[in-house]
Structure 1
């Protein structure tokens, strides 16, 4: 009889453990579902709006005269940042005739600017896809891709695929920069791999990516410089 009681006790204990584990897993899934619904919504974010109003020292009514919500503000800032980055990079890119050299210089220049202004990496994590909608980004990069395709410098034959290869890789790289340190040669290695993905032979891609280029510069009164000076890089 004592043996049966012991076995019954063990069974009861195992059952309680299984029930407890099941409840923990259900609660975990419930929390994950709630988090996904929050992160996936495109609604206004009152906390963000309040912080912007406080820092800008304007009234709520003034804010809503210019933007409908936090997402509209984020899109507008992303567009301005995209324009400033492209304008800073343009002289370096356009000093070259070869599409592969232009692409390599553009990638390295973007990474260089993010390295010198770390707050950009945090901003890109949130607004990177919005920056890709910038008119100058959607004009200049495809221009060089088309030139490379027509001259057979690039072996890809679909413009949108080329855009995704370049832009997607750069965004992923900048995300890495926001989460930890990267080597000093990060921009060159990134440009090399992007050129290879577009069809440039390895040794040539390496040579292009290691060639000396001028450092891109932002105007002292640019939105990026002023904002980072006010604390955009915090986080």
Structure 2
């Protein structure tokens, strides 16, 4: 693949797949072999830009460092490239607004006391309502696995810094997603009882794609780069 043909390929990919077929719910697998005229990292970088401009979550996995035939390792590496806090904050903000509450404009963080004051509500009653909304919109969304639903509910509550020791559980959930948690017993209180492994990783990967859609993202573009191993 030359530089010119790479540009043409990216344009076709953007128009026919990113803007149309995949955005509409489809999926596709593409194989590409760059020539010496274009470095693989340059092509991946251009694909990343195009994907993010179209609202997709982009992840690139290097087969030289990740055992891509192992679904749990693959997911863990994808998870390290996802802005979990950003997704949770975005979802929670829209959830609060959709249930009739106002948020402060240009506020970078969701603070329970500020939201309660802005809407003339008591904090203790507002958090009860938010927990109910999260149960309805996340925990009862069976397009995601149970463990993933529990994890995302925890992530959303942690954005309010109202959950018990929020930073502790937020970090633990991200470590669990990224395959870096030392002991699964640390998440027992959060009702997560097993690490991500080859038995549940596929369901959790599907859950992530569903979660991206719930966050008004177009989907996911995943690059499995094996150029360095050829």
TM-score (norm 2): 0.31
Larger Rg: 1
Give the structure with the larger helix fraction. 1
TM-score (norm 1): 0.31
Greater RCO (CA < 8 Å, at least 6 residues apart): 2
